[in-house]
């Protein structure tokens, strides 16, 4: 009785910025950004809403910090490695993390204050390219290109209709409705002959574009 009335040390291990951030990640991964409120966060932490404000100045700052945590999870390229392999590894890692934390993509826009992990990530990428012999100009081009592709691919993946649906039916039904209208014949043709084939996975498209981009960059590097 007395123990449950005073859940101090053992049951509530003290708050910290790390605990706040990781709880926020859990909530966002589970229910999206709309599920992440100061109150839901406090509940997840076993405290009261106003307590989290001791570690985070505002919800905006919380979101900025969350984006930085996502970047922290992305593998860094090794500046001394072979640049193509390093870029490929980084790109795959970034895509995977952004898929897992797809709520983060919408945050990239509107947040213009990158955190330390984000800056470190960018720095390592630029360094890797420069050391591989890219000129400053080509490095800038390559960087914009690769990152655009990675972010854009993640964005498309996040907004795909067939995301968590298990059966083909779930996906095919709206397509059938489209077919009935006859307004989008090219989409219907692509869907029936390609997208809806068994075993199709949009994520597999990633490799093709990445190869094409890295090939083109290598050609221009020389």
Partner DNA sequence: TGCGCGTTCGTACAATGTACGATTTCACTG
Partner DNA sequence: CAGTGAAATCGTACATTGTACGAACGCGCA
Q: Which of residues 4-23 bind DNA (CB under 7 A)?
A: 6, 8-9, 14-15
Residue in 133, 121, 134, 123 with CA at minimum distance from that of residue 91: 121
- Distance between CA 222 and CA 215 in Å, rounded? 11
56 SS3 class: coil
Residue 113 CB, shortest distance to a second copy, in Å, is: 8
Residue 143 CB, shortest distance to a second copy, in Å, is: 8
CB 149 within 8 A of CB 213: yes
DSSP state of 202: G
Residue 32 CB, shortest distance to a second copy, in Å, is: 7
Q: Contact between 215 and a second copy (CB under 8 A)?
A: yes
Q: List Cβ neighbours of 209 (8 Å cut-off, separation of 6 or more).
A: 149, 153
Residue in 9, 7, 63 with CA at minimum distance from that of residue 38: 63
Site mask, DNA, residues 31-70, x = CB under 7 A? Answer: -----xxxxx------xxxxx-xxx--xxx----------
Residue 181 CB, shortest distance to DNA, in Å, is: 25
- Distance between CA 151 and CA 73 in Å, rounded? 15
- Distance between CA 44 and CA 23 in Å, rounded? 7
Give contact residues for DNA (rule: CB under 7 A): 6, 8-9, 14-15, 36-40, 47-51, 53-55, 58-60
Give contact residues for a second copy (rule: CB under 8 A): 32-33, 102-103, 105-112, 116, 119-120, 122-124, 126-127, 130, 136-137, 139-141, 144-145, 147-153, 155-156, 158-161, 163, 178, 183-187, 189-190, 193-195, 202, 205-206, 208-209, 212-213, 215-217, 220
């Amino acid at each position: 009785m007395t123990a449950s009335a005073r859940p101090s040390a053992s049951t509530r291990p003290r708050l910290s910025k790390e605990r706040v951030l990781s709880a926020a990640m859990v909530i966002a991964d589970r229910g999206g950004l709309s599920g992440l409120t100061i109150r839901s966060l406090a509940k997840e932490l076993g405290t009261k809403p106003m307590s989290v404000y001791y570690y985070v100045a505002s919800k905006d700052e919380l979101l900025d910090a969350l984006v930085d945590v996502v970047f922290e999870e992305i593998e860094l390229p090794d500046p001394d490695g072979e640049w193509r392999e390093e870029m490929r590894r980084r790109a795959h890692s970034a895509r995977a993390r952004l898929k897992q934390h797809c709520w983060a993509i919408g945050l990239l826009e509107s947040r213009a204050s990158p955190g330390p992990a984000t800056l470190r990530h960018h720095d390592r990428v630029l360094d890797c390219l420069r050391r591989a012999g890219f000129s400053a100009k080509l490095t800038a081009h390559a960087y914009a290109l690769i990152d655009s592709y990675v972010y854009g691919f993640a964005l498309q993946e996040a907004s795909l209709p067939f995301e968590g649906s298990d059966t083909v039916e779930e996906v095919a039904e709206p397509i059938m409705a489209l077919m009935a209208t006859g307004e989008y014949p090219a989409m219907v043709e692509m869907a029936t002959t390609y997208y809806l084939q068994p075993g199709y996975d949009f994520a597999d498209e990633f490799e093709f574009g990445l190869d094409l981009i890295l090939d083109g960059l290598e050609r221009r590097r020389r």
